[in-house]
Structure 1
Amino acid sequence: MVTTNELLQKRCRHLDTGLSDTEIAQHLAAVPGWALQEGKVAKTYSFANYYETIAFVNAIAWLIHAEDHHPDLTVTYNRCIVKFDTHSVNGGRGGISENDFICAAKVDAVYQQGRHQG
């Protein structure tokens, strides 16, 4: 079974093959609060105000760019919904890959770091 620490140590890479349903369930266990929603791995983060929300978005933008794995973001006054999937898997039809969980773990780490600094 995969752990959060293992995911944090990895880097995203080009993948053609997605994870099986069993593998997705195992990976979800390593990233608490993330869930499968409409074919994507998703989590909602809450903040005190718009400034904190945008600071989080800016922080994860750097991370996302470095990993070259870009989520869908929904940004409101005090919330940011992050949704990952991998477009290149399953013959270009998309799906869930390990990259989604690598980034989920890293986004969680950014959020936790911000909580400890605030």
Structure 2
Amino acid sequence: MTQLLHSRCKPLEGQPAMTDAEIRSHLNEVSGWQLVDGSIEKTFTFKDYLEALAFVNAMAWVCHTEDHHPDMSMGYNRVVVRFNTHSVGGISINDFICAAKLNALVAFVA
């Protein structure tokens, strides 16, 4: 995960999506993320609404600085985050970079 955590997202237009083997390998590096319908997904659970909202706001900043934005839904104390890369038509390294950064971020919010 350390390598992913210190990497930056970059434009990938014209590049292929990751293979199933590459996805499985990278899933081992980001705790709690799983493959769901062509995306990687994780549910983050918090003490209450305020912690969940703080995470969403911090996540927005991280993803904005990486220029790689997830789909997400938020409830009272949980946030479901899904990444895929539209420009490659599947999952890319950028998805795993952001997943690693969100895993690290959650320790500061909760």
* Identity fraction in percent: 52
Q: Distance in 2 between matches of 1:110 and 1:41?
A: 17
Say yes or no: does 1:100 pair with 2:95. Answer: yes
**Unaligned 5+ residue runs, structure 1?**
none
1:11-53 Cα offsets, whole Å, 9 max, x none, are 0011122111100000000001100001100000001111110
Matched, 1:10 2:7: yes
Structure 2 residue matching 1:30: 3-state secondary structure: coil
Q: Are the counterparts in 1 of residues 9 and 68 from structure 2 also a CA contact under 8 Å?
A: yes
**Deviations for 1:61-89, whole angstroms, at most 9, x for unmatched residues?**
00000000000011000100000000000
* Unaligned 5+ runs, structure 2: none
Count of matched residue positions in the alignment of Structure 1 and Structure 2: 108
Name the TM-score, length of structure 1 as normaliser: 0.89
Which aligned pairs between 1:34-113 and structure 2 lie closer than 5 A? 34-89=33-88, 94-113=89-108
Contact 2:42–2:81 under 8 Å retained in 1? yes
Q: Following the alignment from structure 2 to structure 1, what is the Cα–Cα distance between the partners of residues 90 and 67?
A: 16
Contact 2:31–2:103, Cα closer than 8 Å, also in 1: no
State the TM-score, normalized to the length of structure 2: 0.95
Q: 1:113: Cα distance to partner? A: 2.0
Runs of 4 or more, structure 1, over 3 Å off, are none
